Amino acid sequence: MQLQLPERQEFFGVQLQPLVVKKLLGAPACEFSDRVVDLNLIDPVYDSLWNQLAEQNSFEERVTVFSRWMEKKIPECQSREKLVNDFLSVVGQHAVSVTTLAGSLCYSPRQLSRKMIEATGMNTEEILLYKKYLHAVHLIHHTDLSLTKIAYQSHFSDQSHFIKSFKSFAHMTPGEYKAARTHVKGHIYENVR
């Protein structure tokens, strides 16, 4: 991810797939949810990586350094792990049933739920609900659709379910979120002093 900021500031971030987090950090991704973690406390090797990234002059150079580092650090994922990572990372795919999803990923529904809990801290049904929420956030930021149409296109059963689910993830209603959104997806304006 690259975010250009004023006065030549630049943000370089990396979004890792949940099963990669477990291989890389030795703990499930859910352990890092909503937390800021100093990776140097986990492994001092991250300080060296940070220095290598800071020495680069462009976003593309940083991506190259990070990609090479990841290739050395993480063994190749198994094909079923790739399927799970792809499902978790791809926008959409929220309008499927647990049974259909489990079959497409070559797991039983129970095995898939255990795999999802291990990777994300959420079971398969919660993941599907979360993906509906993410789809709704995407539509709020990139369309002028009404919230009713967004709920429908995100496959929520009704407006009440949409509001309740959205609020459980965003801690605000879809209407409050829409009013506070900025041009950066997932970012909202807040009254901060």
CA–CA gap between residue 101 and residue 129 (Å, rounded): 13
Q: Where in the chain is the domain with CATH 1.10.10.60?
A: 79-180
> Nearest 5°: phi and psi at 40?
-65, -25
In the DSSP assignment, the letter for residue 29 is G
pLDDT, residue 74, reads: 75
Quick one: tokens of 8?
Answer: 């030549």
Yes or no: say if 97 and 122 are a contact pair by the CB < 8 Å rule: no
* Successive 10-residue mean pLDDT values, the chain, 193 residues: 60 74 78 75 83 86 88 75 81 82 90 88 90 91 92 93 93 90 61 46
Model confidence over 110-120: pLDDT tens digits?
999 998 888 88
Overall CATH class of domain 79-180: mainly alpha
The model carries a pTM of 0.71
Return the C-alpha torsion angle 20, 25, 29, 33, nearest 10: -140
CA 122 and chain centroid, separation: 13
Q: Which residues pair with 12 in a beta bridge?
A: 2
pLDDT at 34 (0 to 100)? 67
What is d(CA 127, CA 55) in angstroms, rounded to the nearest whole number?
38
CA distance 94 to 120: 16
* Rg of the chain on CA atoms, in Å: 19
Q: What is the DSSP letter of 12?
A: E
- Provide the 3-class DSSP secondary structure of residue 5: strand
Amino acid identity of residue 13, one-letter, is G
Q: Which residues pair with 181 in a beta bridge?
A: 188
Which of 137, 119, 125 has the alpha carbon at shortest distance from 82? 119
Q: Amino acid identity, residue 189?
A: Y
**CA angle, 13 then 14 then 17, to 5°:** 155
- Give residue 9's pLDDT: 62
Handedness of CA 167, 172, 174, 177 (dihedral sign): negative
pLDDT at 192: 44
Torsion of CA 171, 174, 177, 179, to 10 degrees: -150
